[in-house]
Chains A and B, each alone.
Chain A
Amino acid sequence: MTEMTKIVKTIANILFPFTMIFGLYVIAHGHLTPGGGFQGGAVVASGCALLLVAYGSRWVFTRIKEKRLATFESMGAIGFITIALLGIFFSMVFFGNFLAGSTLLFGTAPETGSTVADLNTGGVLPLMNFAVGVKVIAGLFVIVLIMAYASSIKEWYQ
């Protein structure tokens, strides 16, 4: 994928930060608003794909190595399964929500019924949202990046 004109690059420069902010907002507020780790990660990864379309796969590939992204993807998976396994030790259930109702991080219990959203609720759900978000960002971006790189190898040699 070769780089595109200056118009596309300028529009991508303007849109990229807003895409990042919106995706990270969806990930961080996954336990309060619609969306979560998967959806926000897909938004952020599509913003990175916009960068890839505008600037070309060679420009991106000289700055980000796919092994680093694959490491982030594995770290997200390990964090997710670690939080799930910690539920066995603290609440005797796989995927047990051991932080809900406690006075630790994210431990505030909301009142029943429609209440004002509080970011400090949800137990382990915000942590799981974060882990899945990191995993989906790195996973989708590395898929798009490697496919674009592989399809543009022939163009370079000509």
Chain B
Amino acid sequence: MEKRMVAAVLAFTIVAVFFFFSVFFMHPFGEPGQVSMDDRIIQNTQNETGTNNGVTSVVFDYRGFDTLGEATILFSAVAGVIMIFRRVKE
């Protein structure tokens, strides 16, 4: 029991130290490092996709494969839930 407590406190301390250092080394808000891709999408999204909403144009057009993966994950989740909780005959 004592050993488990010591190990838990040690692990918590290490993770907390990493979190604190990551907070200190974070980017300042509103100053991203690499903006060439952002500028290209913001300037061309209305011409290329005909959409006023840049986020939707990225999600469904520029990064369509990502949305396809999300849809696949939802489909497999539904299939798994239906398979596990299927009706059994009394």
A residues at B contact (CB < 8 Å): 30-34, 36, 38, 66, 70, 73-74, 77, 80-81, 84, 94-95, 97, 100-101, 106-113, 115, 117-118, 121-125, 128-129, 132, 135-136, 139-140, 142-143, 146-147, 149-150
Contact = CB atoms under 8 A, between A and B. Distances in A.
Nearest to B63: A95
Contacts of B85: 146-147, 149-150
A113 to B, nearest CB: 8
Contacts of A135: 71, 74-75
Nearest to B86: A146
Contacts, number: 110
B52 A95 contact: no
B50 A108 contact: yes
B16 interface: no
A73 B50 contact: no
A146 B84 CA distance: 10
The DSSP consensus for interface residues of chain B is: helix
B47 interface: yes
A137 to B, nearest CB: 11
B71 A77 contact: yes
Interface string B36-56: 000000000011111111011
A33 B53 contact: yes
A143 B79 CA distance: 9
